């Protein structure tokens, strides 16, 4: 055999960035086919936005009940190397041999010996507003995202920790039965080699406090859709009871406002966020299931419910649950005598509408996840004018990028519901698997030629 005949085989391992339902689905498809997956997640645990949801439209399945078996499977899969609380900071190489540098943030807890007993969280004296609970719930300075977290290992939030702030406390360390707290822990950097990459970084909600509209950030009883999911969720801060943030009372009149920052080319995002009509109908319906004598109003521009059994779902909200749909835009939301006043116009009747609500729930535009631009830059991928990743070709290559070996999955591409996200993720996984299959046959053929 001469040196020219030696072939370095492409690496049949994949890196997936983001472990929401898209990244998890792609990881499971590839891992179940027998290939290794490195799954990188920025948060301490996996599941993405779906882990925040209460029930899912149009079936009203319990989101946690259908998600947990998958997070557990990902967490235990022998072919999946889970790297949570981590981010990709450099990528070199090309299709078949990417070299990826990953930074694992210091958790200040030795996860190798932590048993996830939760005592540290129980004993921690510092409570702070929780991002995961979307501002309607609190967590400790040492925390896991949720009771179902995978991995079920806590991290210390350095900014909130009394010890890091003032040099004393160490309650978590005192009570940890296995000595897992490590205040000296530092970030760790590892390198992984993979042959292909899937980007599944998902979405955020439009930062409504920047809009200065609808009272968000000023009126405590104006919240966004994800916060309402947490109020509805049995594992949420109110154990599934709908309570308004200001005084914990059960709201009897709730106004839902769609297109908050979407379809507004002059001031905000010009595009339709596609799923808000559906989750608002779900919210209004679930609210009525919990507060039988409550009244739900939905302000909408028009209803976009394209999807199997989606239209029927919205009709059910209107006809069976008696949710009052008002076609029109809201002009003002403000606080008065403990109520949230909502002024708008019903464009069908031409009349002004005024509701003295107890709670207002906004459906903000979906926007690319913070940091998606940096990932695009690392990988040399194009994004559109709003920052969403763009496919190589919209019709026939929806999960491919212009860069060979790099694929897209889920809401990193644009607003998407769970079924579409999962289908897309399986599409990206199929593309990776077909690359690996091709490489296997090429390597076999080459070695056969070399031998004969």
Ligand X SMILES: Cc1cc2nc3c(=O)[nH]c(=O)nc-3n(C[C@H](O)[C@H](O)[C@H](O)COP(=O)(O)OP(=O)(O)OC[C@H]3O[C@@H](n4cnc5c(N)ncnc54)[C@H](O)[C@@H]3O)c2cc1C
Q: What are phi and psi of 249, to 5 degrees?
A: -80, 155
Nearer to ligand X, 56 or 295 (CB): 56
Whole-number minimum distance, CB 371 to ligand X, in Å?
Answer: 5
* Cβ proximity to ligand X, 278 vs 330, nearer residue: 278
Helix or strand or coil: residue 162? helix
- Which residue lies nearer to ligand X by CB, 172 or 362? 362
**Does 421 participate in binding ligand X (rule CB under 6 A)?**
yes
* Among 282, 288, 304, 431, interactor with ligand X by CB under 6 A: 282
Q: Which two tokens stand for residue 310?
A: 């989606």
Question: φ and ψ at 276, to 5 degrees?
Answer: -70, -35
**Which of these segments, 53-61, 121-129, 168-176, 256-264, binds ligand X (CB under 6 A)?**
53-61
- Give the Å distances, CA to CA, from 22 to 25, 251, 389: 5, 35, 14
- Residues of this chain, 133-162, that bind ligand X according to CB under 6 A: none
* One of 31, 38, 355, 375 touching ligand X (CB under 6 A): 375
By CB under 6 A, is residue 418 in contact with ligand X?
yes
Whose tokens are 């995002």? That residue is 269
Q: What angle do CA 205, 210, 213 make, to 5 degrees?
A: 95
Rule CB under 6 A: which of 189-248 touch ligand X?
A: 200-203, 205, 225-226, 229
Q: What angle do CA 20, 316, 228 make, to 5 degrees?
A: 40
DSSP 5: G
Give the span between the Cα atoms of 187 and 208, in whole angstroms: 33
Smallest distance, ligand X to C-beta of residue 369, A = 4
> Between residue 13 and residue 52, which ones bind ligand X under the rule CB under 6 A?
17-23, 40-43, 48-50
Q: Is 297 exposed, middle or buried (0-12, 13-18, 19+ CB in 10 A)?
A: buried
Q: Closest distance between ligand X and the C-beta of residue 101, in Å?
A: 13
- The yes or no reply on residue 261 touching ligand X (CB under 6 A) is no
CB of 229 to ligand X, least distance (A): 5
Size of the site for ligand X (CB under 6 A): 39
Cβ of residue 19: shortest distance to ligand X, in angstroms? 5
Helices in 95-182 by DSSP H: which ranges?
Answer: 119-123, 162-166, 171-175
* Mask for 89-128, x = binds ligand X (CB under 6 A): ----------------------------------------
Task: Find the shortest distance in angstroms from Cβ 274 to ligand X.
Answer: 9
Q: For residue 196, is the peptide bond before it cis, meaning its omega torsion is within 30 degrees of 0?
A: no
Among 412, 397, 384, which residue's Cα sits nearest to residue 270?
384
Q: How many Cβ atoms sit within 10 Å of the Cβ of residue 220?
A: 16
Q: How far is the CB of 60 from ligand X (least distance, A)?
A: 8
Task: Give dist(CA 186, CA 183) in Å, integer.
Answer: 9
Q: Which residues form the interface with ligand X (CB under 6 A)?
A: 17-23, 40-43, 48-50, 53, 56-57, 87, 200-203, 205, 225-226, 229, 275, 279, 282, 369, 371, 375, 410-411, 416-419, 421
């Amino acid at each position: 055999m001469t040196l020219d005949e030696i072939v370095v085989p492409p690496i049949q391992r994949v890196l997936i960035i983001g472990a929401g339902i898209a990244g998890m689905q792609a990881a499971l498809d590839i891992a179940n086919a027998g290939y290794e997956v490195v799954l990188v997640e920025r948060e301490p645990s996996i599941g993405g936005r779906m882990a925040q949801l209460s029930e899912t439209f149009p079936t009203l399945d319990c989101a946690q009940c259908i998600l947990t078996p998958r997070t557990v499977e990902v967490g235990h899969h022998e072919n999946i190397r889970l790297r949570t609380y981590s981010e990709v900071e450099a990528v070199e190489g090309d299709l078949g041999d990417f070299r990826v540098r990953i930074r694992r943030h210091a958790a200040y807890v030795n996860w190798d010996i932590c048993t996830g007993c939760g005592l540290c969280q129980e004993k921690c004296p510092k409570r702070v507003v929780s991002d995961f609970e979307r501002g309607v719930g609190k967590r400790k300075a040492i925390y896991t995202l949720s009771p179902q977290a995978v991995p079920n290992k806590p991290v210390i939030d350095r900014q909130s920790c009394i010890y890091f702030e003032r040099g004393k406390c160490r309650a978590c360390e005192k009570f940890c039965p296995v000595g897992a707290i490590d205040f000296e822990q530092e970030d760790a950097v590892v390198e992984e080699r993979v042959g292909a990459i899937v980007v599944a970084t998902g979405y955020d909600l439009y930062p409504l406090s920047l809009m200065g509209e609808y009272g968000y950030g000023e009126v405590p009883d104006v919240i966004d859709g994800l916060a309402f999911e947490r109020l509805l969720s049995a594992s949420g801060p109110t154990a599934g009871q709908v309570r308004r943030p200001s005084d914990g009372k059960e709201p009897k009149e709730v106004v839902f406002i769609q297109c908050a920052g979407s379809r507004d080319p002059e001031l905000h995002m010009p595009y339709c966020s596609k799923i808000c009509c559906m989750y608002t109908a779900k919210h209004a319906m679930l609210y009525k299931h919990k507060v039988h004598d409550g009244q739900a109003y939905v302000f909408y521009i028009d209803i976009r419910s394209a999807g199997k059994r989606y239209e029927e779902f919205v009709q059910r909200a209107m006809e069976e649950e008696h949710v009052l749909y008002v076609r029109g835009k809201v002009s003002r939301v403000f606080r008065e005598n403990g109520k949230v006043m909502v002024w708008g116009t019903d464009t069908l009747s031409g009349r002004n509408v005024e509701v003295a609500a107890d709670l207002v729930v906004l459906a903000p535009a979906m926007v690319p996840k913070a940091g998606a631009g940096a990932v695009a830059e690392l990988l040399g991928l194009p994004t559109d004018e709003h920052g969403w990743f763009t496919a190589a070709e919209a019709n026939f290559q929806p999960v491919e990028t212009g860069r060979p070996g790099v694929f897209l999955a889920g809401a990193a591409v644009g607003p998407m519901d769970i079924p579409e996200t999962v289908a897309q993720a399986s599409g990206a996984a199929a593309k990776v698997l077909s690359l690996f299959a091709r490489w296997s046959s090429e390597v076999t053929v080459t070695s056969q030629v070399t031998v004969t």
